[in-house]
Amino acid sequence: MNHLSNLKCEACNANAKRLTSDEIQSLMPDVEGWDLITDQKTLKLKRVFATKNYTHSVLFTNVVAELAEAENHHPLIILEYASVTVYWWTHKINGLHKNDFIMAYQTSLLFQK
C-alpha cells in the first residue's frame, strides 16, 4: 500500500510546515514519474504526461482541474497538443507540503483511468 493512497488534502495556510528534505526523499518513491525540481527558488513536483492527441490533452486537463477544485488545491497545468505538464507545490509556503504529494499521486491515478 502506497503511503499516499486514501489520503485527502488538508487545509493549508501560511503557517503550515514545509516538508523537510528527508520527508521529501521518503515520499518520492510514492509518486513515480514525478520529478522534484527547483523553479524560481521553489521546490515543486513536475510530471509531463504524453497524450494521444489534443482531445486527450484537453480531457485530462479538465479532469485534473476538477480534482483541483474538489480539493481546493490548484496546480499549474501546461496544455499542449500532445502533452499535459502538471506542477504541484503550495503557494502559501513557497514549497512542498504533503498535500502536493497526495495531489501528484491522485493526478497519476486519473491519467491511468
Name the site residues for a copy of itself (rule: CB under 8 A).
54-55, 58, 61-62, 65, 68-69, 74, 76-81
Q: How far is the CB of 61 from a copy of itself (least distance, A)?
A: 7
Q: How far is the CB of 113 from a copy of itself (least distance, A)?
A: 19
73 vs 98 by CB, closer to a copy of itself:
73
20 vs 54 by CB, closer to a copy of itself:
54
DSSP letters spanning 32-92: TTPEEEEETTEEEEEEEEE-SSHHHHHHHHHHHHHHHHHHT---EEEEETTEEEEEE-BGG
Q: How far is the CB of 60 from a copy of itself (least distance, A)?
A: 12
Structure-block grid coordinates of residue 68: 483541483
DSSP letters spanning 81-106: TTEEEEEE-BGGGTB--HHHHHHHHH
20 vs 53 by CB, closer to a copy of itself:
53
